[in-house]
């Protein structure tokens, strides 16, 4: 269980770091940090970190989504969703989710910019999580029974809200 938590939390912490210090200040997570430590302290910390550790655009703008897809794939693969009379394996949901978000951005239905590189990196990290990390307890309906694994899965999807850009 510890190894699984490490596999999920490490990429999320890397993404959090990138969002906090390299992405727009208008995301939910950045607004929360600014409210906690003040705008002046946040700006100074952000400037110091981004100067000390410059990152290229691929890492700043595409890697966090790929890492997030990696995490939600790991948390989703032991579940299925019952839809009408069909069971949809949870491992496919991250792909639908990330491609759907990019399409919504392309159609200007949500904030953000469509980026094909985001889709490619998401597909790469999905493949790694799906094929190289074999953790296969019996598949269960994500809603029945609701347990710590399913709450972790829902939480990993909910984290995307922290990256939401406030207008």
pLDDT band for position 83 (cuts 50, 70, 90): confident
Report the DSSP beta bridge partners of residue 165: 27
H-helix segments, the chain: 2-22, 28-37, 39-52, 57-61, 63-76, 93-106, 116-131, 148-158
- Over residues 45-50, the mean pLDDT reads 96
Write the DSSP symbol of residue 114: -
Reply yes or no on whether the pLDDT at 35 is more than 90.
Answer: yes
- Over residues 47-54, the mean pLDDT reads 96
Reply yes or no on whether the pLDDT at 167 is more than 80.
Answer: no
User: CB of 137 within 8 A of CB of 147?
Assistant: no
Separation in Å, CA 60 to CA 18, 72, 88, 166: 6, 20, 32, 18
pTM value? 0.87
């Amino acid at each position: 269980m510890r190894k699984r938590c490490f596999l999920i939390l490490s990429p999320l912490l890397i993404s959090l770091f990138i969002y906090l210090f390299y992405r727009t200040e208008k995301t939910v997570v950045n607004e929360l940090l600014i409210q906690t430590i003040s705008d002046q302290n946040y700006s100074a910390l952000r400037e110091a970190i981004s100067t000390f550790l410059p990152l290229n655009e691929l890492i700043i703008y595409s890697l966090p989504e790929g890492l997030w897809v990696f995490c939600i794939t790991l948390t989703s693969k032991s579940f299925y969703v019952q839809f009408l009379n069909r069971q949809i394996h949870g491992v496919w949901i991250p792909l639908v989710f990330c491609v759907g978000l990019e399409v919504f951005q392309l159609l200007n239905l949500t904030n953000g910019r469509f980026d094909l590189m985001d889709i490619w990196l998401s597909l790469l990290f999905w493949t790694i999580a799906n094929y190289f990390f074999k953790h296969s307890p019996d598949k269960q309906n994500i809603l029945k029974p609701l347990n710590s694994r399913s709450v972790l899965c829902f939480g990993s999807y909910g984290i995307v809200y922290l990256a939401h850009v406030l207008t």
